[in-house]
Amino acid sequence: MSGHGTPIPMTSRACGPLQGAAQVPGDKSISHRALILGALSVGETRITGLLEGEDVLDTAKAMRAFGAEVTRDDDGMWHVHGVGVGGFAEPGHVIDCGNSGTGVRLIMGAMATCPISATFTGDASLNSRPMARVTDPLALFGTQSVGRAGGRLPMTIVGAADPVPVHYVVPVPSAQVKSAVLLAGLNAPGQTVVIEKEATRDHTERMLAGFGAEITTEVTDEGRVISLTGRPELRPQTIVVPRDPSSAAFPVCAALIVPGSDVLVPNIGLNPTRAGLFETLREMGADLTYENLREEGGEPVADLRARYSPALRGIEVPPARAASMIDEYPVLSVVAAFATGATVMRGVKELRVKESDRIAAMATGLRLNGVTVEDGPDWWTVHGLGHGNVPGGATCASHLDHRIAMSFMVLGMATQSPVSVDDGSPIATSFPIFEPLMAGLGAQIERVGA
């Protein structure tokens, strides 16, 4: 598990053109949900393309601990024999969700209306992240929780034996919170209603409908009003997980900044609640095209083609787009360093409570590498130096955060001097094949001392 083992320092240096096809792994958000909803249906759910990163493997282990049978066959297909809505058994041990905020928050929701208790923990990053955003709405169902000061893990959740449905307006733009409430609502009789003012990723709603739940979304003046009828019988599904746009972001952004590059990233999920980065890059002047746009398993999918883009311009990223690219700001800030002019990112307070404080982590590392960055509580600005002008040369802290580690590795591919991270091991949480995949395109990333 990342952060529990030996740190893996890594260095990335300027390389020749990146070329070829990058087969990035399955979508992390969809993979967690496929395992959890599979565990809540009666019968066998089959999943292909599941992300086999540490975060998702921890969720698979957790589903076993709650009584589901979860196996992988030699062809890479996952089989989940679920226990049905309300059928979770009490785990016989502490549930360790590793580095995964999505894993722990969704699982807390899924067990919150079952008459069982469970204790959750994670690595140092996860144990420092706020959980009250989930336990507050779960308390409305009748769920109890006891954690550390500030609502931190380790934490025990006592599920509601006699849950009531809830009506909840999500106070922060968070798909994790929305999903936790919806998953808890599954085992509450009657209608659970969740309202979000800003649209966040909607994989839970789409997948619940696919598993046969009665769920509707209405766009009103209040925001998106999502209504779920409790106690459905979920029907097992065959799920093909699309490839992860958040992982695609790394080879795409690398191709834009490395001279001469031309990279194809096939089969990328382009759900509009996830695709904000690509729109932003195009506004910055990126040579990024969608080829073969189609629909697969209820999600829009395309092949992304990214080519070296020497004339990138800094822009003001519309705050309304933040939720649709929340995990991509770190790597966007790297691209912004190679643009001309300032890239201003506002309305991004949530970045401060991710696997790390991502504004602080990126601002500090970019400054060490010669880039001017300003930041405030919910905004930051990167002053681009233009192609060929970013010095590099520094070692950055990854703070147990996969996306910070990968972003600095992308930075080093086009800086004057190599860029290092103190620990690349967290990359395995979401993108275990990052190093061989980038090497296959022509990148030069080395494990220091290996």
Is 129 annotated in a binding site? The answer is: yes
Least Å from the CB of residue 7 to ligand S3P: 22
Residue closer to ligand S3P, measured from CB, 125 or 200: 200
38 is in an annotated binding site: no
Of 102 and 356, nearer to ligand S3P (C-beta) is: 102
Amino acid at 40: L
Residue 245's alpha-carbon distances to 8, 63, 202, 355, in angstroms, are 25, 25, 14, 18
Q: How far is the CB of 416 from ligand S3P (least distance, A)?
A: 32
Q: Bridge-partner residues for 215, per DSSP?
A: 228
Contact residues toward ligand S3P (CB under 6 A) are 29, 102, 174-176, 179, 200-201, 326-327, 350, 354
**Closer CB to ligand S3P, residue 96 or residue 202?**
202
Distance (Å, rounded) from C-alpha 324 to C-alpha 218? 19
Residues in contact with 212: Cβ distance below 8 Å, sequence separation at least 6, in sequence order: 232, 233, 234, 235
- Choose among 104, 32, 102, 147: nearest CA to 326: 102
Q: Any known ligand binding at 178? A: no
What dihedral do alpha carbons 17, 19, 23, 27 form, nearest 10°? 40
Q: Which is nearer to ligand S3P, 2 or 179 (CB)?
A: 179
The yes-or-no answer on residue 136 being catalytic is: no
Alpha-carbon Rg for the chain, nearest whole angstrom, is 21
Question: Least CB distance from residue 379 to ligand S3P, whole Å?
Answer: 17
In the complex, the smallest distance separating the C-beta of residue 224 from ligand S3P, rounded to whole angstroms, is: 14
- Is the Cβ of residue 27 or residue 287 nearer to ligand S3P in the bound state? 27
For residue 160, give both structure tokens: 């509601």
> 3-state DSSP call for residue 291?
strand
CB of 135 to ligand S3P, least distance (A): 14
**Per the annotation, does 101 bind a ligand?**
yes
Is 33 annotated in a binding site? The answer is yes
Catalytic residue among 327, 375, 401, 423: 327
**Residue 176 among known ligand-binding residues:** yes
| Residue 436 CB partners (closer than 8 Å, separation 6+) | none
Please count the CA atoms within 13 angstroms of the CA of 372 that sit on its side-chain side.
8
Is residue 380 within 8 Å of 374, Cβ to Cβ? yes
Annotated binding residues, as ranges? 28-29, 33, 101, 129, 174, 176, 327, 354, 358, 403
Annotated binding residues for phosphoenolpyruvate, as ranges? 28, 101, 129, 176, 358, 403
Annotated binding residues for 3-phosphoshikimate, as ranges? 28-29, 33, 174, 176, 327, 354
Residues annotated as catalytic are 327
